[in-house]
Amino acid sequence: MPITDSSTNKMRKEYSIVELEEKAKEMRAYSMVALTAAGSGHTGGTLSIMDIAAALYLKVAKHDPANPGWDDRDRIFWSAGHKAPALYTSLGISGYFPIEDIVKLRKLKSGFDGHPNRLAIPGVELSSGSLGHGLGVAVGSALDSRLKKRENNVYCIMGDGEQNEGSVWESVMSAAHYRLDNLIAIIDKNGLQIDGATDEIMCLSSLKNKYESFCWNVIEVDGHNMEEIVNALENARNFKGAPTVVIAETVKGKGVSYAEHKVGYHGICPKDGRCGDESLDQALEDIGAPGFTAEKVDSLLKIADDYQQKIEKRIQNKLSGFSRSYWWNSSDRMKSVMEATRVGFGRAVKELGADENTVALGCDLSGSIKIDQFYKDNPDRKNRFFSMGIAEANATLAASGLAKEGRLAFTGSFGVFATGRNWEQLRTTVCYNKFNVKVAASHGGISVGPDGATHQSLEEIALINYIPDIILATPCDSLETERMTRALALIDGPAVIRYGREATAVVTNPQTPFKFGEALVIRYRGERENFADAFQWHLGSQYQPEGEDISLIACGAMVTESMRAAWILKEEFGIDSRVINIHTVKPLDKGTIIKAAEDTNAIVTCEEHQKSGFGNIIAGAVCSLKDYNSPVVMDMVGVDDRFGESGQPWELLIEHGLVAENIARKAKELVEKKK
């Protein structure tokens, strides 16, 4: 049954196959406009799933946009949450909200996050994006429908690369065991995932045979033939005695010439923006959706621009209150080179890969975290690089096996996956056995940006710190990340190195002091042409106090923000601050921390992480070791017990108070309180 009036149980509109085909074109066009306006997003999978989405939302599934919480509705779970533009377009075209609103995709506070948030948009059944979760939720929902004797169906949309995840197969097994014939899985089998062709990353062989061996009803279909799609979904709805999976052969980037079959278009918007060979205009011409005139596209993009201007005004207001702007590279002096910290990790693994005893394991995000530099310019090393697919737990265990046999094993992913999904494997197998496994936890913090909460790692400092026998490193810039990675390679045992995605200020150089496990003291010495030249660095054990008013103790990218805060404090208020770079959270340099507490009697901790993760570690050191001859006032800057959201990286840092201006305000308050 198509879109339904839940009060009368009558159809709101019946679509023909031809009408569905036209709607799918319109949905593709809206999605491409939204992706262009966002400046980022997942084009390939959004386009490959669109015909199925049109059939499901407009023809097959029972739902009511006027009553999103209708108890008897069909549930549609998007486990493949990165295809969010297709989900939002499906909901908009169905009438859950004005379709024009989707051009606010990935913009701060819009609700149209890079990965779906069910608390923000009506009709979204599941906040998703971490692959391998959706089918299990669908199993639970289908069990509930059976208990309540509801005559509805539960759908779960997955990708083919997602079938790498072991959790998918646990859900497949349980669905078959309970004969959940009200459960229909849909696999968008487009043959590509982030690191390349799906069968080359982790061969899936025959998905049909696999699912049949788990006692599922299997229907294979051309995912771009609307009549076949509708028939398959209706047959699945009517099948009894077992769950059904519809395996849809699709083309990644379908309908846009330059995106079709292109791995590169998994996670980017049109490269050329509005005009050019790989542009929005070319995409709309390829799609051929009626009504998408230049005037209509202009009006849609204006909605996005107007919304963004409001956001930027909101953000700028959070930086006000000082005599001038201290923002990065906003004036002729204090200029800084910016580079992503992940680049430093890439340089290090490229160098370390020369050792025949070193191996690396990728988890389908190899280019994003730069672990692909292990072999990129050295194809002879490819036999020592193992693509494990979207399977972080298995990659961690395989790395352990390689380490057990004497190898130095590097693995990693986005921090939220590399230290979260496989936390037990890290704890019990890697650390309990003291295996020589080095884990790259990339994209740490909220500055991941538009991908939203599911991909923003804000908990791993606390999670990892309390595992015995592990090193936790949090370097501050790309060069320190490179030096730290090389240092970790010389230490036998488990380690996690946390670094960011976005470009941050390069504040160190080859002559900057660096010693594993020892914090660095950084002192502002006055404005210079280059930001980095305005500071002096000292090993903590060698630093002599200078009567500073407060200590700013930071890790990771927040070190550079703390340095900027030191600049603001001195120039605006005459306050001298001691910045401490804790590039090694574990083992912790307690001596430098205690000395700072006793010398300055005021501390602000700074972390791009849930507040008190790093802050409590520092507070614990102070409380356990300080000689209480004088009081200490303390405060923390971090994410305030909340999940992240979509937005541009610097917008999010400002919105959540993880910037120098907020650190300086906190520090000034503490100095006054201390007096």
Task: Tell me the mean pLDDT in the region 143-166.
Answer: 97
What tokens were used for 20?
């569905």
Sign, CA torsion 163/167/173/178: negative
Closest CA to 138 of 91, 186, 104, 94: 186
Contacts of 217 (CB under 8 A, 6+ apart): 236, 239, 241, 242, 243, 244, 245
CA pair distance 278, 524, nearest whole angstrom: 46
Let me know the angle formed at the C-alpha of 514 by 508 and 517, rounded to the nearest 5 degrees.
Answer: 130
Position 44 pLDDT exceeds 70: yes
For 546, the 3-state DSSP assignment is: coil
* Segments forming the whole domain that contains residue 205: 4-287
259 and 206 in a common domain: yes
Per-residue pLDDT of 330-386, as tens digits, reads 999 999 999 999 999 999 999 999 999 999 999 999 999 999 999 999 999 999 999
Is 500 in the same domain as 584? no
Residue 582 has pLDDT above 70, yes or no: yes
User: Which of 394, 408, 405 shows the shortest CA–CA distance to 438?
Assistant: 408
**Distance set, CA 169 to CA 57, 212, 457 (Å):** 26, 12, 26
How confident is the model over 527-553, as pLDDT tens digits? Answer: 999 999 999 999 999 999 999 999 999
* Whether the predicted pLDDT of 226 surpasses 80: yes
Return the structure tokens found at 464.
Answer: 């990892």
- Using CB atoms within 10 Å of the CB of residue 673, give its burial: 0 to 12 exposed, 13 to 18 middle, 19+ buried: exposed
pLDDT value of residue 491: 98
The count of structural domains within the chain is 3
**CA 322 – CA 596 distance, rounded (Å):** 27
Instruction: Let me know if residue 355 belongs to a domain.
Output: yes
- Tell me: cis bond preceding 587? Omega within 30 of 0 counts: yes
Pair 481, 548 in one domain: no
Query: What is residue 628's predicted lDDT score, i.e. its pLDDT?
Result: 67
Helix (H, G, I), strand (E, B) or coil at 212: helix
Residues 6+ apart with CB under 8 A from 227: 17
Does 667 map to a domain? yes
Farthest-apart Cα atoms in the chain, separation: 81
pLDDT tens column, 306-317 = 999 999 999 999
With 90 as the cut, is the pLDDT of residue 630 above it? no
The DSSP line for 2-37 is -SEETTTTEES----HHHHHHHHHHHHHHHHHHHHH
Say if strands 602-610 and 633-639 run parallel, antiparallel, or are unpaired: parallel
Q: Is residue 304 part of a domain?
A: no
Three-state secondary structure of 558-612: HHHHHHHHHHHHHHHHCCCEEEEECCEEECCCHHHHHHHHHHHCEEEEEEEEECC
Mean pLDDT of the chain: 96
Mean pLDDT (whole number) for 577-584? 98
Which tokens is 296 given?
């209509």
The answer to whether position 79 is within a domain reads yes
| 181 & 92 share domain | yes
Distance from chain centroid for Cα 173: 29
Q: Is 319 helix (H, G, I), strand (E, B) or coil?
A: coil
Q: Are 410 and 438 contacting, i.e. CB atoms less than 8 angstroms apart?
A: yes
Strands 358-362, 385-387: pairing kind: parallel
CATH of the domain at 543: 3.40.50.920
638 plus 596 within the same structural domain: yes
Q: What is the mean pLDDT of residues 380-402?
A: 97
DSSP string of 351-363, one letter each residue: HHTTSTTEEEEE-
User: CB burial class (10 A; 0-12, 13-18, 19+) of residue 300?
Assistant: buried
Tokens of 6: 């839940």
How many percent of the chain have pLDDT more than 90?
Answer: 96
Amino acid residing at 266: H
Q: Torsion-angle region of residue 109: left (phi > 0), alpha (psi -120 to 50) or beta?
A: left
CB atoms within 10 A of CB 321: 10
Q: Are 381 and 375 in contact (CB under 8 A)?
A: yes
Q: Is the pLDDT of residue 629 over 80?
A: no
Same domain, 565 and 488: no
Q: With left for phi above 0 and alpha for psi between -120 and 50, is residue 493 left, alpha or beta?
A: left
- Flag whether 512 is in a domain: no
Check which CATH number belongs to the domain holding 105 and give it.
3.40.50.970
Give the pLDDT mean for 148-157.
97
Q: How far apart are CA 483 and CA 463, in angstroms?
A: 24
pLDDT for res 608: 98
| 499 and 350 in a common domain | yes
Residue 626 has pLDDT above 90, yes or no: no
d(CA 648, CA 656): 12
| Reported confidence tier of residue 625, pLDDT bands at 50, 70, 90 | confident
- Residue 368 domain flag: yes
Q: Where are the beta strands (DSSP E) in 293-370?
A: 338-340, 358-362
| Residues in a beta bridge with 359 | 409
Q: For residues 461 and 474, is the Cβ–Cβ distance under 8 A? A: yes
- The Cβ of residue 87 has, within 10 Å, a number of other Cβ atoms equal to 29
CA 610 to chain centre: 15
Same domain, 373 and 248: no
Q: Are residues 459 and 555 in the same domain?
A: no
Q: Is the Cα dihedral 381, 383, 387, 392 positive or negative? A: negative
542 and 498 within one domain: no
Whether pLDDT at 606 is above 70: yes
Cα 16 from chain centre: 39
- Classify residue 192: in a domain, yes or no: yes
Residue with tokens 């430093």: 344
Q: How many CB atoms lie within 10 A of CB 266?
A: 22
Confirm whether 392 is domain-assigned: yes
Question: In this structure, which amino acid lies at residue 44?
Answer: G
pTM of the predicted model as reported, rounded to 2 decimal places = 0.96
The CB density around residue 624, as the number of other CB atoms within 10 Å, is 9
Element (H, E) at 75: strand 75-78
Output the CA–CA distances (angstroms, integers) from residue 122 to 70, 73, 645, in the order listed.
Answer: 12, 13, 17
Torsion angles phi and psi, residue 222, rounded to 5: -75, 115
Do residue 440 and residue 525 come from a single domain? Answer: no
What would the pLDDT profile of 197-213 be if each residue is shown by its tens digit?
A: 999 999 999 999 999 99
pLDDT at 1 over 80: no
Shared domain for 362 and 418, answered yes or no, is yes
